[in-house]
Amino acid sequence: MVLVVNITPVMYTDITGYSPEWLIDAFRFISGALITVVAAALTLATSPFFLVPGFSSIPLLLLSMTFYGTMLAASPFSRTIKADMNLIAWNPFNRNSGLAASSNKISFYKGTFVIRYGDLDGRNGNGISLGIIFLERDGNSSLLMHEYGHQKQQRLLGFGLYTAVIAIPSIISFHISENMTQHMNRWYEQWATEWGKKGLIWW
């Protein structure tokens, strides 16, 4: 329905069924802000569980939901964030590693926040997993799945054991190994690769 006064529409009903973009942005901003506040408070409340083997899954998920709310709230002000979130249909539990690896700045993969860093320089890319996943811009879906395997290790071992048994040795190995093949053949890297291939979201 359209009401026209002096050839200017003053009232319009959108028969396509689509909401205007500003209304969607307003909803995302408000809901994102609410999710951020609630998830951040719960992350803080459950933070002691970061160190408890098995139970670290709880604050890790809440941490990712905090970032999810932040990205929702920030999306109306950033075309890049909006495009990256559109790529995964705004689903924080997106299971398509290819879509997440195709992002420009941020993404989510199986409930884990992913931040892209560095420049596209034609290399294979590197990644870091510590609460969230940092994936170099050249990093592909296989590398993302590997880093997600490290994320699973954190859930199982807790941050204390993970840091001592896997994170520190992995960083040392990365710098002293003669090549990436030697580094990736370490037992903790092979473990991460195998766990990253598993179909379940959590374990």
pLDDT, one tens digit per residue, over 27-41 is 999 999 999 999 999
Q: What is the pLDDT of residue 171?
A: 93
Tell me whether residue 92 is in a domain: yes
pLDDT range class, residue 119, cuts 50, 70, 90:
confident
- pLDDT tens figures, 121-167: 556 678 999 999 999 998 899 999 999 999 999 999 999 999 999 99
Cα-based distances in Å from 173 to 66, 79, 85, 115, 176: 32, 38, 34, 23, 5
Q: What does the DSSP 8-state code read for residue 136?
A: E
> What are the residues facing 133 on neighbouring strands?
114, 129
Judge whether 83 and 104 are in contact, CB under 8 Å: yes
> CA–CA separation, 128 vs 138, rounded Å?
13
C-alpha dihedral (162, 160, 128, 149), degrees to nearest 10: 30
Q: What is the pLDDT of residue 202?
A: 52
Tell me whether residue 203 is in a domain: no
Tell me whether residue 202 is in a domain: no
pLDDT range class, residue 198, cuts 50, 70, 90:
confident
Tell me whether residue 81 is in a domain: yes
Judge whether 64 and 111 are in contact, CB under 8 Å: yes
Tell me whether residue 201 is in a domain: no
| Structural domain boundaries, residue 44 | 2-196
Tell me whether residue 157 is in a domain: yes
- Mean pLDDT across 84-88: 97
CA 70, 76, 80, 84 torsion-angle sign: positive
Q: What is the pLDDT of residue 2?
A: 46
- Mean pLDDT across 67-75: 98
> CA–CA separation, 12 vs 100, rounded Å?
38
The total number of structural domains in the chain stands at 1
Kindly report the pTM of this predicted structure.
0.85
Tell me whether residue 145 is in a domain: yes
Judge whether 120 and 172 are in contact, CB under 8 Å: no
